[in-house]
Structure formats: C-alpha cells, structure tokens
Amino acid sequence: MGVLFDYFAAPNDADAAATIDRLGGPAAAGAAITESGRRGLFRRRSKVAETVPEGPAYPTVGDTGIDPVVQAGTLEELLTGRPYEDIEQDPRWGRSLAVRDGGEGMVHTLTDGLVDALAQAEADRLAEVAVPWSQTEEFWGAGDPEELTALLQDLAQLAREARARNESVYCWVSV
C-alpha cells in the first residue's frame, strides 16, 4: 500500500476541501465517492462511485511522494531560512481541511511562506536546495537531487500559476 501526495492550486480552502471525495484526486472532475444506502458485510456501508458535478479539475503536480507536513516544512526551511520551529507555529502548516476514513483521505494546506518561496525561486536556487533536502532523514539520506530538482521545478511552476490567479496550493493525500 502506498500513499499519494498530489499538490494542486485552488481558489480557496473550501474549494480545496471539496476535492476530498474525488476519484482520481484534484486533477479529475465529475466523479466522487459516496456511501450507498446498502449495508454490506460486517454491516458497513458500501461505497460507490457516482458521476456528479464536482467542480473543475485543478492544476496538479501528482504523485510526488512528498508529505505536506514534515518534508514540506523542511523544504520551506531550506528555501527561506525560516527556522522549522517557526514554521510549525504557522496556522497553515499541515492544517487538515478535510479528512475521510480515519485519515486515508486528506486535504492539507501549505504555508504561504512555502508557496511564495517556490513561486519566487529560480531554477538554480531550486537545484541548490535539492541537494541538502535530498540528504534529510525523511529521504533516508538517499534522495536523488536531480529528481527532486525536477519535482521542485514543477511545484514552483504550480506556485507561480497559483499566485498569478490569487490562489493557494494544497496537498491531496490518499492512502
């Protein structure tokens, strides 16, 4: 079993939270998981996929493997120089907007500091930060700086586009 971490831009927290039940995550539109009225084995309600108007597909960097709390906090520290302890106090750091099935589905906020730093970062700065980030314990000291640089470039582009539309960036998590 793996965990999907999809980063996406949305106009506001309510719209971001509404992606929690989307099949395929925030990049998909038109399908949601709902509970049926039927009870199945062990008296649990069965879940069914329905095509319902779920709003627009959002710009997304999918299946990143980067958690929105610890790894994103460490990234922000490296990009901005802001101490991790201060990042932890930010009200948008790792804030859950929506949670389903005991945490098997979640939508988290990212801090404005991280989104702004990504939006403003040049390619050489992203490559520079990828090296120490790849060596952190969350990557078991063995992350690939080149792969992380490519991912950071994608996230930076998402952040730039979000800020140009006066939007925020979020993380959709699915276990």
pLDDT tens, residue by residue, 113-160: 999 999 999 999 999 999 999 999 999 988 999 999 999 999 999 999
pLDDT at residue 51 tops 60: no
Helix axes 70-80, 112-120, angle to 10 degrees: 50
**Residue bearing the bigger pLDDT, 48 or 16:** 16
User: Which letter, b or e, does each residue of 9-41 get, where b requires 16 or more Cβ atoms within 10 Å of its Cβ?
Assistant: bbeebebbbbbbbbebbbbbeeebeeeeeeeee
State the average pLDDT for the chain: 90
Distance CA 124, CA 127 (A): 5
pLDDT at residue 53 tops 80: no
Q: What's the predicted TM-score (pTM) here? A: 0.87
pLDDT at residue 36 tops 80: no
Catalogue all structural domains in the chain, each as residue range(s) with its CATH number. 4-27+58-174 (3.40.1760)
Helix axes 145-164, 112-120, angle to 10 degrees: 100
